[in-house]
Amino acid sequence: MRTINETSLSKLSRAISNRARPIGDHCEEHPHVAKWELDNEDGSKFVYCPICDREKRNKQQQTEVMERLAINSKGRLEPKGHNYSMLRKKSLVGDVSTYRASISSYVTKETEQEHAIETSKEVIKRAIKGEAFSYWLIGNAGVGKSHIAWGILNTINEYAKVNKKCLYLNVPKMFDKIYHSFNNKESETTQSYFIELVAEADVVVLDDLGAETGNVNANNTASNFTTTVLNKITSELQTKPSIITTNLSKDELVNMYDARTVSRLMANIKITTFKTTLDYRVKAVDW
């Protein structure tokens, strides 16, 4: 037998006392359901469809619950703060100041910087929807590429109602960890660790791609090992949003790795290129 809880009884009592009654009109959404009229305390009339009213309340309750909770990949309800778990605990940054970066704190003085922020907002929306694409931020050091990339992930974690696992990997730092694991059998940060981490994430940033080979102006080429690891990582990126930051051009990247690796990283690509923006870190220093 169906039970009526206290809230339902209260609503029923109010409806009866206010003389809720069906009227001749029928609901446009549910033609078989008659509309009801309810006397408000101020003497006005409230006309409603019982089914529409119930659906509206259910949707509102669901929205309120999802604001407080996020659903992880296993279907369990978890606090929304869990969104930040991977980003804060598993990420590798090249500069600790990156942790403080946000889209709102990025100062725009050039038109291309303003364009980058507008594009970032589009990228955030697409990533939250779960679209598969790659967004490249290309330009010289110090123009804020890493700042924007971290800001995008931070914003996704803030506004995604369903948990999105975001991961930020500074590529030189990642390879430093991998190389260190060669001589340390107890190290967990092996190539397999990072490949599995990328596979687990929903949105991934690869920061400073190309800098792991040394001086980016030295015409260096990546080792076979580096290219192999990146190929395995790109395989995991094909079905998810990825953000790449680099100081190098497409031709320089092809020369450094190979055309196949770069092509896969550029699948469904959107690009922001900084050409006129100067290195704000150098500008801040006067000697």
Compare 249 and 283 and report the one with higher pLDDT: 249
Q: Is the pLDDT of residue 285 over 60?
A: no
Separation between Cα atoms, residue 40 and residue 15, nearest integer Å = 10
Q: Is the pLDDT of residue 133 over 70?
A: yes
- The per-residue pLDDT for 115 is 93
Lowest mean pLDDT among 8-12, 55-59, 148-152: 8-12
- The per-residue pLDDT for 119 is 95
Whether residue 272 contacts residue 115, with contact meaning beta carbons closer than 8 Å, is answered with yes
Separation between Cα atoms, residue 76 and residue 73, nearest integer Å = 8
- The per-residue pLDDT for 1 is 39
- Average pLDDT score over residue span 83-110: 88
What pTM value is reported for the model?
0.68
Q: Is the pLDDT of residue 10 over 70?
A: no
Compare 279 and 38 and report the one with higher pLDDT: 38
- Within 101-245, residue ranges assigned H as helices are 111-129, 145-159, 171-182, 191-200, 224-237
Tell me the percentage of the chain whose pLDDT exceeds 90: 43
Identity at 230, one-letter amino acid code: L
Q: Is 277 left (phi over 0), alpha (psi -120 to 50) or beta?
A: beta
- Average pLDDT score over residue span 51-79: 58
- The per-residue pLDDT for 72 is 42
Separation between Cα atoms, residue 123 and residue 237, nearest integer Å = 16
Whether residue 261 contacts residue 234, with contact meaning beta carbons closer than 8 Å, is answered with yes
- Average pLDDT score over residue span 50-61: 77
- Average pLDDT score over residue span 122-138: 95
- The per-residue pLDDT for 63 is 60
- Average pLDDT score over residue span 61-90: 58
Q: Is the pLDDT of residue 224 over 60?
A: yes
Q: Is the pLDDT of residue 93 over 60?
A: yes
